[in-house]
Amino acid sequence: MRILVLGTGGREHALSWKIAQSPLAEAVWASSVVADAEPGLKSIPEFPDAAACAAFCAAQSIDLVVIGPEAPLVAGWSDVLRASGLAVFGPDARGARLEGSKIAAKEFMRKYGIPTADFVVCRDLEEVRGHVGRFGAVPVVKYDGLAAGKGVAVPSTIGEAVAFAGEGFTRGGQTRLLLEERLTGPEISLLAITDGRRVHLLPPSQDHKRLGEGDLGPNTGGMGAYTPVPGCDPARLAELERIVFEPFLAGVAEEGFDYRGLIYAGLMLTEAGPSVLEFNCRFGDPETQPLMCSMDGDILPLLWSAAIGRLASRGMDTQASLCVVLASRGYPADPRTGDEIHGLEEARLMPGVKIFHAGTRREGDRGEAGRFFTRGGRVLGVTGVGETLTLAAAAAYAAVDKIHFPGMQYRRDIGARALSPQE
C-alpha cells in the first residue's frame, strides 16, 4: 500500500513513522520537515489546494491519504480526495464541523444526548450581558470558529467574560459565541478511530497546554502529553464508550456525515460524571506522539479499514509513553527560528526514545550527517516509552538533557500529576 500523510507537525511525523513500520506499507509520503528527519520517507510538495493533492496522488498511485490537521478537514479536502477515488482517513467537511464550529458541536451533543456543560449561544454583546449571569458562576466563553487555542477564556470575573466576548465580536471577527457553564475536574483526551459505524478506542491520554510548569503561563499548542492516564481503567473506558461514542455514532448516522477518521473527545471528569468539553476531528498534537510510541501493533490496518468504511477493530498491546515538547525562544508569542540544534544524534540513540520533528530545518542534502536548525515554535517532541510511565518519563527526560539550542523552552513536569503518588 502507498500512503500519503498530510500535515507538517510532530503529529504527522509520529503517524508517518508508525505507518512506515507496517509490513503492508510499500511507501510513505510526508511533508519535507518530516521526510528530512525520518529516513525512508518520501517528501511531498506543499499543495495549494485539495485538487493539487489529488493530482499528485494519482501520479504517484497513492492508495490512502491520512489527513493530520483540522484546517484541510474543515475545508473539505476529504470530500475532494474521496471524489477522486482515493481512500481517505479524515471525516468529510460536515463531520469536521464538530471541530470547526464549537456551536455546531454543542448543538450536536445536546441533540444526541452526549453529556456536556450547559450553554447558550450569543449573537452580540447585549445577549452576552443578558445571559452572563445565568449559570450561577462566571461562565466559560468560547468563540465559534477555529482559533488555534486562542478562542476560549475561563474568566474569573463577569467583567473579564464580557470583555473577552467583546474582543471576539470585534477583533476576533466572530458572529456568534458560546457561554458555557464552568465545570471542574481532571481532563483527559480520548481518541477513537472510526468508520462512522463503529469505534476503536485508543488508550486515554493527557496533554499539557500551558507553557509553564504547574500549568501556568500562556496557552500553547501543547507542551507535552502522556498515555495511559492512571485511574482511567477499562470500566471507565467502557462507560465513556457508551455515553459519548455510541451517541456520537448515532448522530453521525442520523446527520449523514461521512465520518471515516478520528474522533477526539476532550473530556472533563466532574463529580457529576464525565462531560465532553470539545470534539476534535483529527489526532491530537502532541498526544499522537506518545500514542504512536505506546502502540505495539500495526496501525495501518486500523487506518485503512476505517478509511474504506469497514473498521477492523482488534485488541492491541500498549505500553506507557510520554512526550516532552521542546519549544523555541519566544514561543508562543514570537518564536525565534534559525538556531542550531545540538545533541540530537546522541539523544536519538538512547534506549526507549523517539524524537519527532515539528519545526526543524535540515541543512544540506538528506542522507548527509544532519545539521538541524529550529524553524518554528514547537521544535521537537522528545518521546520516551516504557513499561510504566515512570520509565517512559525517565527515558524522555534523559534524552531531553542531551539536546540543546539557544533559548530552548520545555517543561520538566510533564506527567507529574500521574507520577506523583499523593494525587
Ligand X SMILES: Nc1ncnc2c1ncn2[C@@H]1O[C@H](COP(=O)(O)OP(=O)(O)O)[C@@H](O)[C@H]1O
Q: Which residues bind ligand X (CB under 6 A)?
A: 117, 140, 149, 151-152, 154, 180-183, 187, 266, 277-278
Q: Which residues lie across from 355 on neighbouring strands?
A: 382
Q: For residues 95 and 77, give the distance between their C-alpha atoms in angstroms, rounded to a whole number.
A: 12
- Residue with smaller CB distance to ligand X, 140 or 291: 140
Q: From the CB of 359, what's the least distance to ligand X, in Å?
A: 20
Question: Residue 140: which of Mg ion, ligand X, none does it interact with, CB under 5 to 8 A by kind?
Answer: ligand X
Question: Residue 118: which of Mg ion, ligand X, none does it interact with, CB under 5 to 8 A by kind?
Answer: none
Question: Residue 149: which of Mg ion, ligand X, none does it interact with, CB under 5 to 8 A by kind?
Answer: ligand X
Instruction: Calculate the dihedral angle through the C-alpha atoms of 186, 128, 149, 413, rounding to the nearest 10 degrees.
Output: -30
- Residue with smaller CB distance to ligand X, 142 or 375: 142
* Stretch of 42-50, 123-131, 248-256, 259-267 contacting Mg ion, by CB under 5 A: 259-267
Q: From the CB of 197, what's the least distance to ligand X, in Å?
A: 26
Length of the chain: 423
Q: From the CB of 407, what's the least distance to Mg ion, in Å?
A: 27
Q: How many residues bind Mg ion (CB under 5 A)?
A: 1
Q: By beta-carbon distance, which residue lies closest to Mg ion?
A: 266
Question: Residue 92: which of Mg ion, ligand X, none does it interact with, CB under 5 to 8 A by kind?
Answer: none
CA distance readout (Å), 19 to 22, 47, 95, 252, 288? 6, 21, 24, 27, 13
- Residue with smaller CB distance to ligand X, 220 or 294: 220
Listed in sequence order, the residues at least 6 apart from 243 whose beta carbon sits closer than 8 Å to its beta carbon are 114, 115, 273, 274
Which helix (H) or strand (E) covers residue 361, if one does? Answer: strand 360-363
- Residue with smaller CB distance to ligand X, 14 or 105: 105
- Residue with smaller CB distance to ligand X, 266 or 301: 266
Q: By beta-carbon distance, which residue lies closest to ligand X?
A: 278
The reply on whether position 185 binds Mg ion by CB under 5 A is: no
The reply on whether position 186 binds Mg ion by CB under 5 A is: no
Grid coordinates belonging to 114: 452526549
Q: From the CB of 242, what's the least distance to ligand X, in Å?
A: 22
Q: From the CB of 189, what's the least distance to Mg ion, in Å?
A: 8
- Give the strand pairing for 340-341 and 371-374: antiparallel
Q: From the CB of 322, what's the least distance to ligand X, in Å?
A: 19
Q: For residues 278 and 363, give the distance between their C-alpha atoms in angstroms, rounded to a whole number.
A: 40
- Residue with smaller CB distance to Mg ion, 11 or 18: 11
- Residue with smaller CB distance to Mg ion, 76 or 266: 266
Q: For residues 83 and 61, give the distance between their C-alpha atoms in angstroms, rounded to a whole number.
A: 15
The reply on whether position 266 binds Mg ion by CB under 5 A is: yes
Residue 145's Cβ-count burial label (10 Å; 0-12, 13-18, 19+) is middle
Q: For residues 190 and 389, give the distance between their C-alpha atoms in angstroms, rounded to a whole number.
A: 18
Grid coordinates belonging to 103: 456551536
Identify the sign of the CA torsion 191, 193, 198, 199: negative
- Nearest residue to 381 via CA among 45, 12, 4, 6: 12
Of residues 362 through 421, those in contact with Mg ion by CB under 5 A are none
CA distance readout (Å), 49 to 16, 77, 148? 21, 8, 21
Q: From the CB of 97, what's the least distance to ligand X, in Å?
A: 14
CB 414 within 8 A of CB 222: no
Q: From the CB of 279, what's the least distance to ligand X, in Å?
A: 9
- DSSP 3-state of 340: strand
- Residue with smaller CB distance to Mg ion, 172 or 266: 266
Question: Residue 180: which of Mg ion, ligand X, none does it interact with, CB under 5 to 8 A by kind?
Answer: ligand X
Q: For residues 38 and 21, give the distance between their C-alpha atoms in angstroms, rounded to a whole number.
A: 12
- Residue with smaller CB distance to ligand X, 187 or 298: 187
Q: From the CB of 402, what's the least distance to Mg ion, in Å?
A: 31
- Nearest residue to 168 via CA among 149, 152, 148: 152
Residues near Mg ion (CB under 5 A) are: 266
